[in-house]
Amino acid sequence: MPSEKDSSDSDESSEYPNHPYQLLCSLPSALHTTHQRRCDSQMPLSDSLMPLADNCPLVEVKVSKLKDCLMLTPGWLDIEKFQEWSNACHRYLKHSEKKSKEIVRFVVDGMLEPCFVKWYHANQTCIDALSLDKYLTEFVKYVLPCKWEHGVRNTLLSSKQGNKPFADWQIELENLNTLLANTKSTCCLSDASVQAQLKANMNPDLRAKLDNTNLIATTFQDWIRKVTELNEDLHEENACTQRLIDANNAAHAAEQQKRKPLAEHLSDPPTCTQSPSLMGSSVNANILQLPWLTEDEKRILKEHKGCT
């Protein structure tokens, strides 16, 4: 009776009859250890995306010109950087005029991370024979932690529009779903599921406007376009309302400035009505002037001059 290993080997051989497809078995020990540590780890997915080595930088995708070979700098790779690398590879395929069957041989030469280089050199014959999409599917299996797709799907399902423009938020979700689709993940959502998710988590005001609108859309992209228009109309309505509120507040403040409450009038200190020039330059105009002395008061002061 054939063993489970023999059965799996025969399945792989039948799926790839033209070349010995044994990437997993020939995985270099360094990369296999990293991959196994991530798979066996019980830490949350967000934590498992951190570099396994201290002070390890995040990779950068560098492209000088569309026709020039791209470069992946040394470092660790997260989901967003893998998506960037995948997009850059497809752009290179489109503009480089290279044949699709030879494009992978040029792309892998741009991977400068030693761990990725070892993985390629150990399986060069097999990898060179892959299509670009198949190469990216195999590459993502070893550079991202196990069940990374579930983390992306959870992010997609829990995302809310908030105060973002609907178009920007929708593109963010579409990019996440495209990442799942490009890697042939079973976590990828259908257009109908994405549409339902967008409606459930969109801004409450936009959802209310959508519910009160007889919106008819034949396709998912048509629905996206019409909801984007509704969101722009809602934004303009809110901006107009805010302008009216600001104008009303300004008019109210000006009216309040003209009217002084009675309490403020009663609390005002008495002011001197005499011209400051008559009181001397050193006397404040707001200080009350003492009354003039009478003749009797002058006589008494003169008689008692010098008394203490």
Best CA proximity match to 25, nearest among 6, 40, 41, 52: 6
Residue 291: strand, helix, or coil: coil
Residue 7's CB is within 10 A of a number of other CB atoms, namely 11
Contact 143, 32 (CB under 8 A): no
Residue 62: strand, helix, or coil: strand
pLDDT tens per residue, range 225-269: 999 999 999 989 888 888 889 888 888 888 877 776 655 655 555
pLDDT tens per residue, range 46-95: 333 334 445 678 899 998 877 778 899 999 888 888 888 988 998 998 88
Element (H, E) at 71: strand 71-72
**Residue 72 forms beta bridges with which residues?**
61, 111
Q: Is 41 exposed, middle or buried (0-12, 13-18, 19+ CB in 10 A)?
A: middle
d(CA 18, CA 126) in angstroms, rounded, equals: 10
Q: Is the pTM of this model over 0.75?
A: no
Contact 73, 114 (CB under 8 A): no
Say which residue the tokens 């195999």 belong to: 138
